[in-house]
Copies of this chain bind each other. A is one copy, B any other.
Amino acid sequence: MRKCVALISGGLDSFTAAAMMKAEGMELYALSFRYGQRHSVELESARKVAAFLNAREHRVLDTTLGSLGGSALTSAIAVPKDRPESGMAREIPITYVPARNTVFLSYALAWAEVLSASDIAIGANAVDYSGYPDCRPEFIEAYERMANLALAAAVEGKIRVRIRAPLLHMTKAEIIRTGLALGLDYSLTHSCYDPAPDGRACGRCDSCILRAAGFVKAGAPDPLALKA
């Protein structure tokens, strides 16, 4: 059985990407991170998602990435609210965390080598929220190229690493429809950048707005909104 290290954030994108790998018949090894996020609700969702997908193992690694600063997600900078969808795409958002996907993929790469896993799944998406440089196809391709020069197992020809970003060119509505067709329970996920102390989504940050619009366009209710 082919193994896939799946980056799981607790959000719906990484859930869907991992589920698509599972649907290809791969065995999942879920990987999540503590990196100085404001809230732990993300990691609770990650645990639920990994369990739902029957991941063979779920590791949560501590990173000290947040201590380096530079992002609204890990520091005191305010998360922007109430921006229309049309205003999000052109600029790099303040919620960008320097080198986050690079760091996360690098740990996934280390684990992939230890497991002899050929595939690494990431929920990166370049359509609905193209402001993050490390969610673009050219970044993913360059990372994969580098990865196959970095690992002993790749250099020795034992594995060929593939960075799988199946959502890269999908809209949020397409992602949601794909996940629903795979039977995913999106009530387990969490997308908000700035949840309330009790973990509830704010409904006003970019991520909440994109999620809500995605469910509307997919013609499906958001089970999280129903629960709230």
A62 — which chain B residues lie within 8 A by C-beta? Answer: 62, 64
Query: Given A107-B68, A110-B99, A149-B138, A92–B61 Cβ distance below 8 Å?
Result: no
A139 — which chain B residues lie within 8 A by C-beta? Answer: 146, 149-150
Query: Given A139-B146, A145-B142, A152-B133, A106–B99 Cβ distance below 8 Å?
Result: yes
Q: Residues of A at under 8 Å CB distance from B?
A: 59, 61-65, 67-70, 92, 96-103, 106-107, 109-111, 113-114, 133-134, 136, 138-139, 142-143, 145-147, 149-152, 154-156
The answer on a CB contact under 8 Å between A150 and B102 is yes
Bound-state Cα–Cα, A139 to B143, Å: 11
User: Smallest Cβ distance from A182 to chain B, in angstroms?
Assistant: 29
| Nearest B-chain residue to A66, judged by Cβ | B110
Checking B111, B145, B156 against A146 with a beta-carbon cut-off of 8 angstroms, the contacting residue is B145
| Nearest B-chain residue to A109, judged by Cβ | B99
Bound-state Cα–Cα, A64 to B65, Å: 12
The answer on a CB contact under 8 Å between A98 and B69 is no
Checking B61, B98, B99 against A64 with a beta-carbon cut-off of 8 angstroms, the contacting residue is B61
| Nearest B-chain residue to A133, judged by Cβ | B155
Instruction: Return 14 A-B CB contacts under 8 Å, by A number.
Output: A62-B62, A65-B107, A68-B110, A96-B152, A100-B110, A102-B109, A102-B110, A103-B103, A103-B106, A103-B107, A106-B106, A133-B151, A139-B150, A143-B146
